[in-house]
Amino acid sequence: MCMDFLINESQLNYLVESENSEKFTRNMKQLNSFTVNLVNKAKRIFGLNFKFLITWGPVIGGFVGPLDKYIRDNYLEFSEDSIILITLGIACTYFYQNKKETKKLYEQIEKEGLVSFFEEMLLKSKQLKDSFISFMESLNLTLGTTVEMIHYSFLIPIINDLQQVAHGATNIASASKIIVERLITSGVVLITSQTLIDVISKILKRFKK
């Protein structure tokens, strides 16, 4: 996901007004839709109820979405149903505490003969998590624990966009506020504006160097 323009001081107002300024909003809505669709398919196909995960829609979409794409691009032999079980299993590993429902999911994964592949993808997810957490820690952010940091996973798919913004922006503060306005406008980002502005600002400064 790369923006097809760079931002400088004279373009900041244009960013707010143009269709391209909606890209951050659309990204968040798409991440949320990914999670909603995943939960709904699991319910319809397997009778598994993980509706609570929708609360973390863009977070789960940001973290599991790239893994979903990785599987689809590299493991064509797996069916849609199998991919649903694997990605849902990864989401539940990090974001769901209901042991009873999670046990049902793991039992379904075992029933479908997907345990080995699930463990392989779980390792991939750990690598993604560790890489993201290391990046966030490098920003010297005071976001609390590792568990709390992973709640910013909705940023993963837009890192390239943020990098493009940083390379062209001459006013990091203004650019950060505009980006956060776009993210909050999506209606699915639960983090407060000021906290998110601080995070985005530090990311832009990091890429600006």
CA 136 to chain centre: 14
Domain that holds residue 71: 9-208
In order along the chain (209 residues), what is the average pLDDT of each group of 10 residues?
A: 44 47 83 95 94 91 95 94 96 85 93 96 93 87 72 90 79 84 81 87 86
Token pair for 129 = 């998590």
Considering the domain boundaries, does residue 1 fall inside one?
no
Considering the domain boundaries, does residue 25 fall inside one?
yes
Q: pLDDT value at position 11?
A: 52
Phi, psi angles (nearest 5°) of residue 107: -65, -35
Considering the domain boundaries, does residue 139 fall inside one?
yes
Considering the domain boundaries, does residue 57 fall inside one?
yes
With a CB cutoff of 8 Å and minimum separation 6, the contacts of 177 are 197
Q: pLDDT value at position 190?
A: 75
Q: pLDDT value at position 96?
A: 82
Considering the domain boundaries, does residue 2 fall inside one?
no
Q: What is the DSSP string of 135-173?
A: HHHTTT----SHHHHGGGGGGGGGHHHHHHHHHH-S-HH
How many domains, in total, are found in the chain?
Answer: 1
Q: Is 93 exposed, middle or buried (0-12, 13-18, 19+ CB in 10 A)?
A: middle
Considering the domain boundaries, does residue 94 fall inside one?
yes
Q: What is the pTM of this model?
A: 0.84
